[in-house]
């Protein structure tokens, strides 16, 4: 039976969908069967990031409305055979879809996968309920900015009203140079503010940003190691956290930090 994990944040623009896409890829690279569900109905991006938008024939709204079976709507990633995507719709009215209906979809496929990752829309309105309702675990994504942490803290409180067995934190877009110079919140302060366990830290990575526009996952970038550790931590319960500051240490790191400020 699959572990059903909702990936949420409370705030838009923190890289939640990118985290979902990469986590799906890296879990599949570890040998697991993974299904990703895009529940951000009307503002779907997961199929675009995965480079699968041209292959979409049916979507999750077609499944819910009975136009097709789940198997007909699931897209197999050509680069990762054990990774599947159930895309969302950019034209359908989301107001007609309930959390119970999304749960029915996950119930149908849960015995065929090891992981079901649910990409949650931003905010805490009806879309949040639809995404969280079928899940039994949650990943909360934040960036090292106070506004992101405040919004995510509200989400943590709301998750306590659902059947969520465990919650974990992912800090995204962490700048190692700014972390070393004390110009952004450090990891310990963020974890203490959120009050939940840390699953991973993902560095700011231009190649990942480029991925979002190119429609392909980069596995030869700085953040690749960070995503591998995140996937391993989620599956094994380990606590290996990527060190975003390693290349900014020592004399060479000093020059790198100061050069980055000038760019």
Q: Which two tokens stand for residue 228?
A: 């591998």
Average pLDDT of the chain? 90
124 vs 38: which has the higher pLDDT: 38
- Which of 1, 3, 22 lies closest to 235 in space, CA to CA? 3
Q: Can you list the alpha helix ranges (DSSP code H) found in the chain?
A: 16-29, 46-49, 60-65, 70-73, 99-109, 126-132, 146-159, 176-180, 187-194, 206-214, 223-236, 250-262
> Cα dist. 224→83, 94, 215 in Å?
17, 34, 16
Q: Which residue range(s) make up the domain with 72?
A: 3-262
Q: How far apart are CA 86 and CA 94, in angstroms?
A: 16
The residue whose two tokens read 């760019």 is: 263
Q: Are 114 and 33 in contact (CB under 8 A)?
A: yes
Q: Are 223 and 202 in contact (CB under 8 A)?
A: yes
pLDDT at 255 over 50: no
Q: What is the pLDDT of residue 213?
A: 60
Which residue is associated with the tokens 């198997």? Answer: 71
Residue 39 near residue 127 (C-beta atoms within 8 A)? yes
pLDDT at position 91 over 90: no
Rounded Cα distance, 253 and 172, in Å? 21
pLDDT for res 49: 92
pLDDT at 256 over 60: no
pLDDT in tens, 205-249: 887 776 666 666 767 788 999 999 999 999 999 999 999 998 877
Per-residue model confidence as pLDDT tens digits over 33-66: 999 999 988 777 899 999 999 999 999 999 999 9
User: How many domains would you assign to the chain?
Assistant: 1
Question: And the tokens for 80?
Answer: 């990762």
This prediction's pTM: 0.92
Q: Which residues pair with 169 in a beta bridge?
A: 140, 198
Task: Judge residue 97's burial from the number of C-beta atoms within 10 Å of its C-beta, 0-12 exposed, 13-18 middle, 19 or more buried.
Answer: buried
User: 233, 255, 251, 253: which is closest to 242 by C-alpha?
Assistant: 233
Say which CATH number the domain at 248 has: 3.40.50.300
Handedness of CA 226, 219, 72, 2 (dihedral sign): negative
């Amino acid at each position: 039976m699959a572990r059903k994990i909702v990936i949420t944040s409370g705030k838009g623009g923190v890289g939640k969908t990118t985290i979902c896409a990469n986590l799906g890829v890296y879990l599949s690279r570890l040998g697991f069967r993974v299904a990703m569900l895009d529940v951000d109905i009307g503002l779907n991006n997961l199929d675009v990031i995965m480079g699968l938008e041209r292959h979409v024939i049916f979507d999750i709204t077609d499944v819910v409305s009975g136009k097709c079976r789940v198997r007909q709507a699931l897209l197999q990633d050509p680069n990762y055979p054990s990774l599947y995507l159930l895309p969302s719709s950019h034209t359908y009215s989301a107001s007609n879809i309930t959390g119970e209906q999304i749960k029915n979809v996950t119930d149908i496929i849960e015995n065929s996968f090891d992981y079901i990752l649910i990409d949650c829309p931003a905010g805490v309105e009806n879309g949040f309920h639809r995404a969280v309702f079928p899940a039994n675990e949650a990943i909360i994504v934040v960036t090292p900015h106070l506004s992101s942490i405040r919004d995510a803290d509200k989400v943590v409180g709301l998750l306590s009203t659902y059947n969520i067995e465990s919650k974990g934190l992912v800090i995204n877009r962490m700048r190692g140079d700014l972390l070393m110079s004390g110009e952004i919140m450090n990891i310990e302060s963020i974890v203490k503010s959120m009050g939940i366990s840390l699953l991973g830290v993902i560095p700011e990575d231009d190649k990942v940003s480029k991925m979002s526009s190119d429609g392909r996952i980069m596995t030869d970038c700085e953040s690749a190691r960070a995503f591998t550790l995140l996937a391993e931590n989620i599956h094994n319960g380990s606590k290996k956290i990527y060190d975003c500051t390693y290349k900014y240490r020592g004399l060479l790191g000093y020059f790198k930090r100061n050069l980055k400020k000038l760019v």
